[in-house]
């Protein structure tokens, strides 16, 4: 050993503690989380009533925009995907063909803009020009229109680069919405304003946003009782399913027994392996990791790494076994080719771990070097590719895998955002402004990708967006 140092002297100190959750979630594996036939029947009855409501509301009405928004914000859009897609296509095409008179109501203009951009339509931001003065500033008279400001604030977060009118909207609305909070008597509106300022809808996970919106919607005197009851039923039944899933996930982590839906099962396996590998790279020596990293690149099932410590051998064997099991499972449906993409992403992830370890040995990377490696080591690129492996063949194709492994802008931006959020907690105050600006630019990149003609479908794009939201 160089300089006569022992392994322990150059080994990084790692004080890993057991999971604070232990087997807590195993209690959810009980009859309390089973969905009864009566509950399912009640859900279906309400779903059909909401479907009828959607069908009977004219596409060219303001109420249709409001209804679609309520359905989406309540987290039940997935029941009516096709109907909503058709309605928004009609609304977009009708507007672009100038078959409808534009509204002077900021709330409606902003709501339509947001719904269409969320759907992937590159709807023009100049629809907001009518609300600005000759110098491009928003009219002062808008400051008392809290509903309008709230909708504009939410809509503006779907901005892309060089859309100054939306950058200005965020600043303008944020200032006046903060000022309005102490004056609002409407409890529901006050809740929605507060939650939007804390986390805009575009940045929030759908399910978390739905839980908050259900509460605010219930306090809105104009709420639709059928829709509200349906949202509650759906949320509660999904909650039961998620609780059982937590139990299964916990049991899987403890006993290595996959037992849920294929896509989730595959992703969970790979997340677990990445987590164990991350801890190993935090603890092992540079020489041990060099041997491990090289072996993983070869991925030889017959290699044993017999000269390495037991924990290195165990990780290597577990990685080989995990991907072999996934390949065997995917081979049953003729889709084993997908696993090669996921495997390569895991190899790339572990190389990035190794690069970060090397920096600890008297090397300070430049900012660009740091970002290039740390964006990968965050694991989000591995997750975005792996999350597609278990999807049905009607949802994802080989083209989608070829697209995502080439690191499209939306994937890089999502990974960068996750890394910057982590750095935001640890960095000095004077660096945080620069980090926040980079984060805003990352969201602009992701928004732009959702509006472009990309090889990937919107469901696949939203998987990448949701990874950023979960960061």
Q: Report pLDDT digits (tens) over 335-354.
A: 999 999 999 999 999 999 99
Q: How high does pLDDT run on average in the chain?
A: 86
Q: Tell me which of 164 and 100 has the higher pLDDT.
A: 164
Distance CA 311, CA 280 (A): 8
Residue-level pLDDT at 1: 41
Q: Tell me which of 167 and 2 has the higher pLDDT.
A: 167
Three-state DSSP at 302 gives: coil
Residue-level pLDDT at 456: 87
Residue-level pLDDT at 102: 72
In this predicted model, what pLDDT tens digit does every residue of 129-158 receive, in sequence order? 999 999 999 999 999 999 999 999 999 999
Mean pLDDT, residues 241-267 taken together: 53
Point out the least confidently predicted range of 61-75, 177-191, 244-258. Answer: 244-258
Mean pLDDT, residues 218-229 taken together: 94
Distance CA 249, CA 264 (A): 10
DSSP state of 35: P
pLDDT at 40 over 90: no
Write phi, then psi, for 132 (nearest 5 degrees): -115, 160
Beta bridge partners of 138: 132
Residue-level pLDDT at 251: 40
Q: Do 256 and 272 form a contact (C-beta atoms < 8 A)?
A: no
pLDDT tier, 21 (very low <50, low <70, confident <90, very high otherwise)? very low
Mean pLDDT, residues 168-187 taken together: 95
Instruction: Report the range out of 7-16, 174-183, 266-275, 429-438 with the highest average pLDDT.
Output: 174-183
pLDDT at 4 over 50: no
pLDDT at 248 over 60: no
Write phi, then psi, for 343 (nearest 5 degrees): -65, -40
Q: Do 375 and 412 form a contact (C-beta atoms < 8 A)?
A: yes
- Domains of the chain as residue ranges with CATH: 43-238 (1.50.10.130), 243-469 (1.10.600.10)
Q: In whole angstroms, what separates CA 423 from the centre of its chain?
A: 18
Task: Characterize 331-361 residue by residue with b for buried, 16 or more Cβ atoms within 10 angstroms of its Cβ, and e for exposed.
Answer: eeeebeebbebbbebbbbbbbbbbbbbeeee
Distance CA 329, CA 259 (A): 13
What is the percent of the chain with per-residue pLDDT over 70, rounded to a whole number?
A: 86
Mean pLDDT, residues 40-63 taken together: 94
Q: Do 446 and 471 form a contact (C-beta atoms < 8 A)?
A: no
pLDDT at 24 over 60: no
Residue-level pLDDT at 367: 82
Distance CA 135, CA 114 (A): 25
Beta bridge partners of 132: 138
Mean pLDDT, residues 46-73 taken together: 96
Q: Tell me which of 419 and 155 has the higher pLDDT.
A: 155
Residue-level pLDDT at 254: 30
Give the residue among 108, 107, 113 at the shortest CA–CA distance from 160: 113
Residue-level pLDDT at 257: 27
Please calculate the CA angle 121-386-435 and round it to the nearest 5 degrees. Answer: 65
Distance CA 110, CA 127 (A): 9
Mean pLDDT, residues 98-112 taken together: 85
């Amino acid at each position: 050993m160089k300089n006569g140092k022992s392994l322990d002297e150059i080994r990084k100190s790692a004080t890993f503690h057991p999971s604070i959750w232990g087997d807590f979630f195993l209690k959810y594996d009980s009859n309390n989380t089973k969905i009864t036939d009566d509950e399912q029947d009640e859900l279906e009855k309400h779903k059909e009533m909401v479907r009828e409501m959607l069908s009977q509301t004219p596409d060219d009405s303001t109420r249709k925009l409001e209804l679609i928004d309520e359905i989406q914000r309540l987290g039940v859009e997935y029941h009516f995907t096709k109907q909503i897609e058709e309605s928004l296509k009609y609304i977009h095409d009708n507007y672009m063909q100038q078959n409808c008179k534009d509204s002077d109501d900021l709330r409606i203009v902003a709501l339509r803009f947001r719904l269409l951009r969320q759907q992937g339509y590159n709807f023009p931001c100049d629809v907001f020009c009518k609300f600005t003065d000759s110098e491009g500033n928003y009219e002062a008279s808008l400051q008392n229109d809290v509903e309008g400001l709230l909708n504009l604030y939410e809509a503006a977060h779907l901005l892309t680069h060089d859309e100054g009118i939306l950058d200005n909207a965020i600043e303008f609305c944020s200032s006046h919405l903060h000022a309005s909070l102490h004056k609002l008597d409407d409890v529901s509106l006050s809740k929605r304003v507060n939650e939007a300022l804390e986390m805009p809808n575009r940045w929030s996970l759908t399910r978390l946003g739905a839980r908050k919106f259900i509460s605010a919607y219930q306090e809105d005197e104009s709420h639709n009782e059928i829709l509200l009851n349906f949202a509650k039923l759906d949320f509660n039944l999904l909650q039961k399913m998620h609780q059982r899933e937590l139990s299964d996930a916990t049991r899987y982590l403890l006993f290595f027994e996959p037992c849920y839906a294929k896509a989730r099962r595959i992703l969970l396996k790979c997340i677990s392996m990445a987590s164990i590998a991350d801890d190993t790279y935090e603890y092992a020596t540079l020489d041990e990791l060099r041997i491990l990293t090289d072996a993983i690149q070869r991925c030889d099932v017959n290699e044993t790494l017999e000269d390495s410590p037991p924990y290195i051998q165990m990780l290597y064997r577990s990685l080989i076994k995990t991907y072999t099991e996934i390949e065997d499972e995917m081979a049953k449906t003729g889709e084993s080719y997908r696993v090669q993409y996921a495997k390569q992403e895991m190899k790339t992830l572990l190389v990035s771990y190794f690069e970060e370890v090397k920096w600890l040995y008297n090397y300070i990377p430049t900012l660009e070097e740091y970002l290039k490696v740390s964006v990968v080591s965050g694991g989000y690129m591995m997750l975005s590719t792996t999350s597609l492996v278990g999807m049905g063949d009607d949802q994802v194709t080989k083209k989608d895998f070829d697209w995502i492994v080439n690191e499209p802008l939306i994937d890089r931006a999502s990974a960068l955002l996750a890394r910057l959020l982590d750095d935001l907690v640890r960095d000095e105050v004077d660096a945080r402004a620069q980090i926040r600006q980079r984060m805003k630019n990352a969201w602009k990149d992701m928004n732009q990708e959702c509006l472009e003609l990309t090889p990937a479908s919107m469901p696949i794009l939203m998987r990448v967006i949701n990874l950023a939201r979960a960061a």
